[in-house]
Structure 1
Amino acid sequence: MRLIVNGASLDVQAETLSGALAALDYGDAIVATAVNGAFVPASARRDRRLEDGDRIEIVAPRQGG
């Protein structure tokens, strides 16, 4: 299916957000996720089904100060 991931259009073979993260090589990385502008906590990624054209944002935490 075609998804927009961090602004880039990609073909991803996954039905759920957790499946998409695995397909995109994020595996067990600690990241924040949103689908179509709505935050999706890590505990809900397995149940968050995706549809063609969904916009996914993946953000890795950064340290700073």
Structure 2
Amino acid sequence: MFIKVAGEKKEYPEGLTVKELIEKEDVETPQYVTVTINDEFVESGAFETTEVKDGDEIEFLYFMGGGAR
């Protein structure tokens, strides 16, 4: 199947889960990553059971905190 990961078209086997994709893409600090598939957020507890489908667009997001002085 073909998917887009961070805007780049890639080929992966069918049945790939979000957790497996995070590992294959060597995502930095995976415990803090937020994942969207086709602009829909995926719950972190569902990474192991959510399968990526042909044509999906996946983004890995990190939310940064900050504050005013």
Match of 1:23 in 2: 24
State which structure, 1 or 2, has the greater radius of gyration over its C-alpha atoms.
Answer: 2
SS at match of 1:43: helix
TM-score by length of 1: 0.80
Match of 2:43 in 1: 41
Match of 1:9 in 2: 9
Distance in 1 separating the partners of 2:65 and 2:12: 30
SS at match of 2:63: coil
CA RMSD of aligned residues (A): 2.0
Among 59, 62, 65, which residue is 1:60 paired with? 62
Aligned length: 65
Query: What is the deviation of 1:36?
Result: 1.3
Deviations 1:7-43 (A, max 9, x none): 1112234611111111000265211111111100110
* Stretches of structure 1 lacking an aligned partner (at least 5 in a row): none
Displaced runs of 4 or more, over 3 A: none
* Stretches of structure 2 lacking an aligned partner (at least 5 in a row): none
SS at match of 1:57: strand
What letter matches 1:23 in structure 2? K
Q: Tell me the percent identity.
A: 26
What letter matches 1:2 in structure 2? F
